[in-house]
């Protein structure tokens, strides 16, 4: 079991499979984004080796993210190999959904259990503007395919941007009246690259809840206000689905954090919003043993920072969100 210096049990690894993406969401990366060459990224055998070692130190929950994980070559084979690694109890993915129409069933057959889809608006033109190139129709078909393939319960993530898709929280929340989905609203966080935009256009949970309640009626708080992962859950009256708020800025959940992140280029990052990282790829390519890798991981876990320091204006500027894996 991997414990940090504050007694938190760290057992959930989010792996950024690639920094590449087929969209350019305005809150995530600049339009003229350039990506790393493939050789600088973790290769399949390196990922599998690390997954095996992480399970040996007590990690049992894995999420594949990016960039866009589904643009990685041989993604179905990689998912199958990770799913069959002893000690992997939960295997999920975060995706923009653009390729799921074709990939949902093969990924489910390979052992993927659930998916969180990013969807920030139900308006096709606005969707194209927010993603700078995406098709809402394609993503919607991808979500339907995932549901049909049993990758359930479906979760939908929306990052809320002031003066852009703020009002869209109402349409998105309305989805829970007709679908047994969890629709989660994310407070935009600042990283490198487009930091000023992210800081200037953040919308807080309370404002989102006010908009939803004014349009759709009262929200019932679930779980007695306890967190479900990183989200606080609510339900609209008689809704089969639920609403979640991931409020990193206004209501941080660092005390219950159980996560670590593996960046696409093989660095272990113990807090999404802190710059501290440990390079695992260079030592691996230099021939380090499994025992030495285990020790590096256990030490990094121990030193996991307590939490972010955004309230002190300490913004992590060494990476974009897409490199770390959200
Ligand atoms: N491409 C996949 C997707 O969009 O779902 C996975 C990677 S994406 C970086 C992971 C999550 O991070 C998505 O839900 C996305 O909306 C969210 N995200 C991206 N930039 C963000 C930001 N600045 N603040 C908060 N969430 C962000
Ligand atoms: Fe790509 Fe996901 Fe970032 Fe959008 S949020 S640009 S889909 S990595």
Tens digit of pLDDT for each residue in 187-197?
Answer: 999 888 888 89
Q: Does any ligand 2 atom lie closer than 6 A to the CB of residue 118? A: yes
Residue entry with tokens 């479906």: 154
> What is the distance in A from the centroid of ligand 1 to the CA of 68?
9
Q: Which domain holds residue 195?
A: 12-324
Q: How large a percentage of the chain has pLDDT more than 70?
A: 100
Q: What is the pLDDT of residue 69?
A: 98
| Range with lowest mean pLDDT among 56-60, 231-235, 236-240, 253-257 | 253-257
> What is the distance in A from the centroid of ligand 1 to the CA of 1?
29
Q: What is the pLDDT of residue 318?
A: 80
The per-residue pLDDT for range 151-180, each reduced to its tens digit, is: 999 999 999 999 999 999 999 999 999 999
Tell me, yes or no, whether 42 lies in a domain. yes
Average pLDDT over the chain reads 95
Tell me, yes or no, whether 22 lies in a domain. yes
Tell me, yes or no, whether 1 lies in a domain. no
> Is residue 202 pLDDT above 90, yes or no?
yes
Among all ligands shown, which has an atom nearest to the Cα of 94? 1
Tell me, yes or no, whether 25 lies in a domain. yes
Closest ligand 1 atom number to CA of residue 159: 16
Q: Does any ligand 1 atom lie closer than 6 A to the CB of residue 189? A: yes
Residue entry with tokens 């043993």: 289
Q: Does any ligand 2 atom lie closer than 6 A to the CB of residue 68? A: yes
Q: What is the pLDDT of residue 8?
A: 96
Tell me, yes or no, whether 16 lies in a domain. yes
Ranges of beta strands (E only) in the chain are 12-16, 61-65, 90-95, 114-118, 155-160, 182-187, 219-221, 227-228, 231-236, 242-246, 259-262, 267-269, 277-279
> Is residue 320 pLDDT above 90, yes or no?
no
User: 68, exposed or middle or buried, with CB in 10 Å at 0-12, 13-18, 19+?
Assistant: buried
Q: What is the pLDDT of residue 311?
A: 75
The per-residue pLDDT for range 261-290, each reduced to its tens digit, is: 999 999 999 998 888 899 999 999 999 999
Q: What is the pLDDT confidence band of residue 313, given thresholds at 50, 70 and 90?
A: confident
Tell me, yes or no, whether 181 lies in a domain. yes
Calculate mean pLDDT across residues 39-65.
98
Domain with residue 66: its CATH number is 3.20.20.70
Q: What is the pLDDT of residue 231?
A: 95
Q: What is the pLDDT of residue 171?
A: 98
Q: What is the pLDDT of residue 325?
A: 77
Q: Which residue's alpha carbon is at the smallest distance from atom 8 of ligand 2?
A: 67
Q: Does any ligand 1 atom lie closer than 6 A to the CB of residue 186? A: yes
Tell me, yes or no, whether 260 lies in a domain. yes
> Is residue 314 pLDDT above 80, yes or no?
no
Q: Does any ligand 1 atom lie closer than 6 A to the CB of residue 64? A: no
Q: How large a percentage of the chain has pLDDT more than 90?
A: 83
Tell me, yes or no, whether 311 lies in a domain. yes
Produce one character per residue of 211-225: b if its CB has 16 or more CB atoms within 10 Å, e if not.
bbeeebeebeeeeee
Q: What is the pLDDT confidence band of residue 76, given thresholds at 50, 70 and 90?
A: very high
> What is the distance in A from the centroid of ligand 2 to the CA of 15?
15
Residue entry with tokens 């975060």: 94
Number of domains in the chain: 1
């Amino acid at each position: 079991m991997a414990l940090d210096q504050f007694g938190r049990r760290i057992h959930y690894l989010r792996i950024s499979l690639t920094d590449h993406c087929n969209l350019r969401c305005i809150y995530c990366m600049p339009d003229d984004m350039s990506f790393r060459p493939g050789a600088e990224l973790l290769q399949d055998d390196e990922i599998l080796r690390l997954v095996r070692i992480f399970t040996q130190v007590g990690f049992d929950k894995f999420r594949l993210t990016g960039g866009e994980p589904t643009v990685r070559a041989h993604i179905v084979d990689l998912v199958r190999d990770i799913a069959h690694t002893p000690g992997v109890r939960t295997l999920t993915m975060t995706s923009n959904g653009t390729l799921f129409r074709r990939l949902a069933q093969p990924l489910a057959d390979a052992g993927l259990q659930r998916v969180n889809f990013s969807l920030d608006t139900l308006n096709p033109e606005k969707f194209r503007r927010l993603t700078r190139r995406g098709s809402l129709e394609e993503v919607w078909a991808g979500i339907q395919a995932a549901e049909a393939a049993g990758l359930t319960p479906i979760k939908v993530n929306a990052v809320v941007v002031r003066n852009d898709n703020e009002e869209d929280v109402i349409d998105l929340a309305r989805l829970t009246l007709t679908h047994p989905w969890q629709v989660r609203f994310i407070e935009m966080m600042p990283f490198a690259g487009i930091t000023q935009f992210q800081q200037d256009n953040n919308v807080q949970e309370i404002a989102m809840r006010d908009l939803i309640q004014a349009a759709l009626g009262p929200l019932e708080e679930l779980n007695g206000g306890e967190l479900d992962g990183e989200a606080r859950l609510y339900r609209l009256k008689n809704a089969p689905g639920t609403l979640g708020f991931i409020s990193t800025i206004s209501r941080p959940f660092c005390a219950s954090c159980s996560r670590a992140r593996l960046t696409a280029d093989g660095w272990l990052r113990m807090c999404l919003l802190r710059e501290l990282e440990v390079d695992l790829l260079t030592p691996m390519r230099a021939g380090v043993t499994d025992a030495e890798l285990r020790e590096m991981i256990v030490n990094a876990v121990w030193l996991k920072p307590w939490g972010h320091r955004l309230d002190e204006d300490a913004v992590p500027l060494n990476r974009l969100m897409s490199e770390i894996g959200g």
